[in-house]
Structure 1
Amino acid sequence: MATARAKVTIGGSTSSFEFLEAATAPIPEEVRQFGGEELMVLLIAETIDDPDIEEGFETVQGPVYVVLDADGQPLGPLGTFSQNYFDLQPPDDPGWTEWADGVDDSDVAYDLFGCVNPNR
């Protein structure tokens, strides 16, 4: 994705990551807000550059989420965790964060992760 950051700093650690797999699913109509039509999950492999990390645990895999509009264009990262991985800013609406965090913790996001889960 063009809006992905090359490096991420979370806490005191810097990491780089690569996209491994992606899947999309419609956001249920009763939950849609802010023009969000679909949810995309991206499985990433993140390599953490921190000398305190035990050898063999430097790379982890996990999901990040992006909300897409009706044209498939990204509206914003879903939830506060995913925000760190993109230069894309969420809509400037005070309700976005609460809505996005709710969808991030929903069955929709969990089920979509199953499509890219490396342990499936």
Structure 2
Amino acid sequence: MATAQSNFKTGDSTISSFKFIEAATAPIPEDVQQFGAKELMVLLVAINIDDPNVEDGFQGAQGPEYVVLDADGQPLGPLGTFSQPFFDIEPPEDPGWTAWADGVADSDVAYDLFGCVDPN
């Protein structure tokens, strides 16, 4: 969470802050590993949105943010374009990273890992 950001824009909304709730990690299947990625970490966070178009009384939302870890457990980059603005971590500059990360973000691996922290 040392690399977490606040007061950033995503889409039409500004995320004023987000709070860490729970995390889990899982290995990335060997046949999917690229760019030195070995594990996937999911962070369940509570998001506070600052948007005049959002209904009064809306307190925010909970959701997953993903980070890819190397063999030493160090972050390589946020997984997928949705998680990118939440962290001050630059993903690898390899042109294939974005397509690979978006594919993993939409995979059963990410979905199953979210089940480990999903409060519902």
Task: Check conservation: 1:4, 1:86, Cα contact below 8 A.
Answer: yes
Partner of 2:37: 36
Structure 1 contact 14–48 (Cα < 8 Å) conserved: yes
Larger CA deviation: 1-10 vs 72-81 = 1-10
Q: Conserved in 2, the CA contact under 8 Å of 1:46 and 1:61? A: yes
Alignment deviations for residues 54-104 of structure 1 (CA, whole Å, 9 cap, x no partner): 134331000000000000000000000000101101001001001001100
Normalising by the residue count of structure 2, what TM-score does the alignment of the two structures yield? Answer: 0.94
CA distance in 2, matches of 1:32, 1:11: 29
Structure 2 gaps of 5+ residues are none
Identity %: 73
What is the CA RMSD across the aligned residues, in angstroms? 1.0
SS at 2:86 equivalent: coil
The Cα offsets for residues 27-73 of structure 1, whole Å up to 9 and x where unpaired, read as: 00000000000000000100111222113433100000000000000
Cα distance between partner residues in 2 of 1:51 and 1:58: 13
The answer on 1:58 being equivalent to 2:59 is yes
SS, match of residue 101 in structure 1: helix
Which structure 1 residue ranges, 5 or more long, are not aligned? none
> Where does 1:1-120 land on structure 2 (aligned, <5 Å)?
1-15=1-15, 16-119=17-120
* TM-score normalized with structure 1 length: 0.94
How many residues get paired? Answer: 119
